[in-house]
Amino acid sequence: MAIGRFDVYISEMVVEEASLGDPEAAQRRLEVPKGFAHLELNAQVEDLARVYMEKLEIPEKSFRDAVHLAVCTVHNIDYLVTWNCTHLANAEVMKKLMAINRTSGIHTRVVCTPEELMEAKYVERSDR
């Protein structure tokens, strides 16, 4: 499914995360990704996620964050869009990730917040 000029993909990890918490809120969250193509969680994704966890020092409780990075890498997705600025959309994490991937000959994907990916005409500016 496309949104604007982007083809949108999710993994089962996104569905799992959306399912957590308040059941009514979870049901609303689960409506959003309906129709998006799903990317496979496979052994290659899990192995790379474990490497990212170790080398990026991502705690076990945040394993899903490493999986999101690995899914994008394994499936050659251009952008990982997230509001998680602790383990994902974070300049220090990206610096480490680029070094890890460069050593392994892996292309580093762009990790950004939704606002960073939006076209300028949609971004509300406070200086106007």
Whole-prediction pTM value? Answer: 0.86
**pLDDT tens digit string along 67-119?**
999 999 999 999 999 999 999 999 999 999 999 999 999 999 999 999 898 86
Torsion of CA 67, 72, 76, 77, to 10 degrees: 160
Q: How far apart are CA 63 and CA 36, in angstroms?
A: 23
Any idea which architecture 2-122 has in CATH? 3-Layer(aba) Sandwich (3.40)
H helices of 11-82, where?
Answer: 12-18, 23-31, 43-56, 63-74
- And the tokens for 65? 């964050």
**pLDDT tens digit string along 7-39?**
999 999 999 999 999 999 999 999 988 889 999
